[in-house]
Structure 1
Amino acid sequence: MIEQLAALPTYEAYKDSGVEWLGEIPAHWWVVPLKHALSLTSEKVSSRNSVLKYYGMENIESWTGRFIETESEVEGLANKFNENDILFGKLRPYLAKVALTENEGICSTEFLVYRTKKYAAHFFKYLLVSTDFINVVDASTYGSKMPRANADFIGIQRLPIPNLSEQTAIATFLDCKAAQIDQAMAIKEQQIALLKERKQILIQNSVTRGLDPNIPMRDSGVEWIGEIPAHWEILANRALFRERIEPGEEGLPLLSVSIHTAVSSEEIPEDENIRGRIKIEDKTKYNLVWPGDIVFNMMRAWQGAIGAVVVKGMVSPAYIIAIPNEKIVSSYFEYQYRCPEFIQQMDRNSKGITDFRKRLYWNEFKQLLTVVPPIEEQTAIVTHIETQSVKIDQAIAIQQQQIDKLKEYKATLINSAVTGKIRVPEVAA
């Protein structure tokens, strides 16, 4: 399905393009500024009550140009485009938001709308999304927080132009190969999703049902928990934890808690060490945490921002710190409270009218219910989860590496085809 680039034919003769990022191109191709090949349209319309489909930056998938449905509503000026126009995202061009339109519509003014009549638009879509071209444009941006590319700069960039039949052949070839590569990546992404689901089921079953499938079970008396091993307990967190309020110390790392990776074990990166626009200088206002403490973000606990601390450090005053007693192993508790049912329990007990204002306070945390096996079983469960998780994570990493290689191959294939470094089979024939 996916051949080596070295196996694809090349052209008989090449010449220097005179453009650094292009290098040599086929001898019969020519080089012209983008503005001579594509017209930049600037028809502005109001998006209010428009019957035309709207394309925002968030609606275009990076590198593929696929349309992604969103529920966002936009009011204001928009750029109008026709079928077969090319949209090029000038905001943060490294995102490679480039799309070939299939219908008439309107789009964000952060898109440049290009149109061609005598060339194959499909070919130029691939040319403008090639990593070499994106890198050139991205290097020219202005503005640090919201970097944008200048349309005049893009317009003078010199592009390689084959004849029309070659443009069509190259675009058709890339359509076919891109579809094959995307399908291969989709299969691997499905495999990753299944592995992640398997890991979640492993954790959930282990922390609520134990490791022995033949052990006697009993009704927990809590509908959303269901059955648990007969000798396990259901305890409120007030029987398991007490709150820690202890000032921080200079020199300790400032830790964060994430809905994805629980509590960090290293200092928050410098570029994230900011609250609003004020850099944190006086860390003594933050609270001390010790290994084994449970920390959760009051504002995001209901999303799963909870976990066990593994290094001595400090956390934001927006976090609550719970010290476990001898009945509970911190890492076991973390695994349990990052399961969907327990995240939902935190959600139900959080206070606030809207999600933005929702908080899980200490008094509400104390009322939450925890499934508590004997301490030695908790330790065995943690060991089992960690051992099996390593294997699953390794399998996920292998799939992700293969996806990354496919993405790299796709990018190289597009670059090579649109700049003439390879000759596609249709042209060779």
Structure 2
Amino acid sequence: MTGGYQPYPDYTDSGKPWLGPIPDGWKTLRGKYVFREVNERSELGEEQLLSVSEYYGVKPRQEAIGEGEHLSRAESLVGYKKCETDDLVMNIMLAWKTGLGVSGYDGIVSPAYSVFRFDPRKAWPNYMHYLLRTSLYTGHFKTLSTGVIDSRLRLYPETFSGVSILLPSLTEQRTIAAFLDYETARIDALIARQQRLIELLKEKRQAVISHAVTKGLNPDAPMKDSGVEWLGEVPEHWGLPKLLYVTSRIGDGLHSTPVYEDGTGYYFVNGNNLSNGAIKLGPTSKEVPESEYHKHHIPLDNSSALMSINGTVGNLALYNGEPVILGKSACYINCKQPLNRRFLMAYLRSDEVSHYFDTEVTGTTIYNLSLNSVRQMKVCVPPEKEQEAIIKYCTEQDRQFGRLIDHAVRAIELMKERRTALVSAAVTGKIDLREWERPSA
């Protein structure tokens, strides 16, 4: 057994093909003998509002909002279901997708959720939390859910109450839960460190590229005041024109909806199709008839850079001959000498330009950057050979930092896989933890 953990000495057939063999001494009971559904309602609606998610289990809704949840709050919470600490809360539409968990809080939850309370003589809530969120159980939930498509699947309480629950002794349940609390906390801490490393690497990469395209590669080069607050000093020998003077054309795309037709090979793209320096075309990309393409096609060539100017501002791509027409949220910039479009791409990624965009955008929920703001932006223009050197340097820095970031991302994936495997092995009896004790250090 990997990781230094040993299996139980003996196993027996659980009698459930989906569950497989279980350690001798463990038993299975139908859910209704382990927990009961409770349907207590709030009379005032003043209790703490809780939310359940596949990602984090049960949390106060205010914390959930901070992690990306955007559920609207009802005007009144009267009639919401009461939930006590150690109750199991389940979103019946997402049980198959880990949309359930044991609550660590007293509060109230949506009336659409189901709440269950464990029999303390049979189940240790923390063990149950780990068990019922394993892929073994959520996969079984999916087979029991009713509905035609995934988004319509529902696991009703009466069905859930018939699920076979795997039960070691209460003492073992407590030990397993304590072991997983300890080990998952260690893994989570390592994941957090890797995530912080990724943030630092991205910040460093951004700083290195920003410095290269605004200060150059020669630390001894004489500098001059650019006269632009957001730009600061630039090398004395660099040009600093407005972008419109080193481009042949700047514009945006179609301000209406084109005619769509599948299978033509001609695409309609907007700012959200621009990603990591390229136009991203996928299965959901909209295609248009050839006639529509020729009607709305804008002359783009190997001098063209693209940038999103509506919604998410600053997504970038180089045009490489793709058969596309642009929407209004995509701005095209056709460069002319002496401005190299690859240097412009790096410049547009800089912190300095980002600050400029922040001062120029309009809108509160959907940001918009005007074409005039793009045209009037001051742009650093080093001599052409220096631009090429900076482009090469930025490309190499991108590659090196990208490799380090990829290593950290892969490390996180491996740690998450390890976490999942460890939880599953512990709660299903693949490893024997009866003698485990929490380390003192």
- What is the deviation of 1:408? 0.7
Report matched runs for 1:239-278 at 5 Å.
239-241=245-247, 242-243=249-250, 251-255=265-269, 257-258=271-272, 261-267=275-281, 269-270=282-283, 272-273=284-285
Which structure 2 residue ranges, 5 or more long, are not aligned? none
The number of residue pairs the alignment matches comes to: 413
- What is the deviation of 1:66? 6.2
> 1:121 matched to which residue of 2?
125
Give per-residue Cα distances to partners, 1:198-236, cap 9 Å, x unaligned. 111111111111111111111111111111111112221
Give per-residue Cα distances to partners, 1:332-362, cap 9 Å, x unaligned. 212222233313322432344x332x42232
- What is the deviation of 1:239? 0.8
**3-state DSSP class of the match of 1:170?**
helix
1:28 aligns with one of 3, 25, 30? 25
- What is the deviation of 1:245? 7.6
Q: 1:93 to 1:307 in 2, by over 3 A?
A: farther
Q: 1:207 to 1:213 in 2, by over 3 A?
A: same
In 2, the alpha carbon distance for the partners of 1:260 and 1:218 equals 34
> 2:393 matched to which residue of 1?
384
**3-state DSSP class of the match of 1:53?**
coil
In 1, the alpha carbon distance for the partners of 2:211 and 2:31 equals 59
Q: 1:255 to 1:7 in 2, by over 3 A?
A: same
Most deviating of 206-215 and 66-75: 66-75
Most deviating of 231-240 and 160-169: 231-240
Q: 1:281 to 1:144 in 2, by over 3 A?
A: farther
RMSD of aligned residue pairs (Cα, Å): 3.1
Is 1:322 aligned to residue 327 of structure 2? Answer: no
Give per-residue Cα distances to partners, 1:228-251, cap 9 Å, x unaligned. 111112221211221368999953
In 2, the alpha carbon distance for the partners of 1:371 and 1:70 equals 41
Q: 1:294 to 1:92 in 2, by over 3 A?
A: farther
Most deviating of 112-121 and 192-201: 112-121
Is 1:375 aligned to residue 375 of structure 2? Answer: no
In 2, the alpha carbon distance for the partners of 1:425 and 1:5 equals 17
8 Å contact from structure 1 (residues 89, 97) kept in 2 = yes
Q: 1:244 to 1:348 in 2, by over 3 A?
A: closer
- What is the deviation of 1:266? 4.4
Report matched runs for 1:163-242 at 5 Å.
163-241=169-247, 242=249
Q: 1:299 to 1:266 in 2, by over 3 A?
A: closer
- What is the deviation of 1:426? 3.2
What is the aligned-residue identity percentage? 24
Q: Give the counterpart letter for 1:150 in structure 2.
A: L
Give per-residue Cα distances to partners, 1:395-419, cap 9 Å, x unaligned. 1111111111111111111111111
Q: 1:8 to 1:383 in 2, by over 3 A?
A: same
Is 1:142 aligned to residue 156 of structure 2? Answer: no
> 1:308 matched to which residue of 2?
318
- State the TM-score, normalizing by the size of structure 1: 0.85
**3-state DSSP class of the match of 1:186?**
helix
Report matched runs for 1:280-319 at 5 Å.
284=293, 287-288=297-298, 289-300=300-311, 303-318=313-328, 319=330
Most deviating of 286-295 and 228-237: 286-295
8 Å contact from structure 2 (residues 51, 59) kept in 1 = no
8 Å contact from structure 2 (residues 81, 110) kept in 1 = yes
Q: 1:200 to 1:122 in 2, by over 3 A?
A: same
1:133 aligns with one of 109, 133, 137? 137
Give per-residue Cα distances to partners, 1:90-133, cap 9 Å, x unaligned. 34446534443222112234543222132211110001111221
Is 1:411 aligned to residue 424 of structure 2? Answer: no
Which structure 1 residue ranges, 5 or more long, are not aligned? none
**3-state DSSP class of the match of 2:208?**
helix
> 1:62 matched to which residue of 2?
55
Q: 1:109 to 1:371 in 2, by over 3 A?
A: farther
8 Å contact from structure 1 (residues 88, 112) kept in 2 = yes
Q: 1:232 to 1:240 in 2, by over 3 A?
A: same
- What is the deviation of 1:179? 0.7
Give per-residue Cα distances to partners, 1:2-44, cap 9 Å, x unaligned. xx73521221221111223321001211112223312222334
**3-state DSSP class of the match of 2:231?**
coil
**3-state DSSP class of the match of 1:332?**
helix
- What is the deviation of 1:390? 1.0
2:108 aligns with one of 100, 106, 110? 106
- What is the deviation of 1:83? 1.2
- State the TM-score, normalizing by the size of structure 2: 0.83
Is 1:400 aligned to residue 382 of structure 2? Answer: no
Give per-residue Cα distances to partners, 1:242-273, cap 9 Å, x unaligned. 13689999534555544983453442x22x33
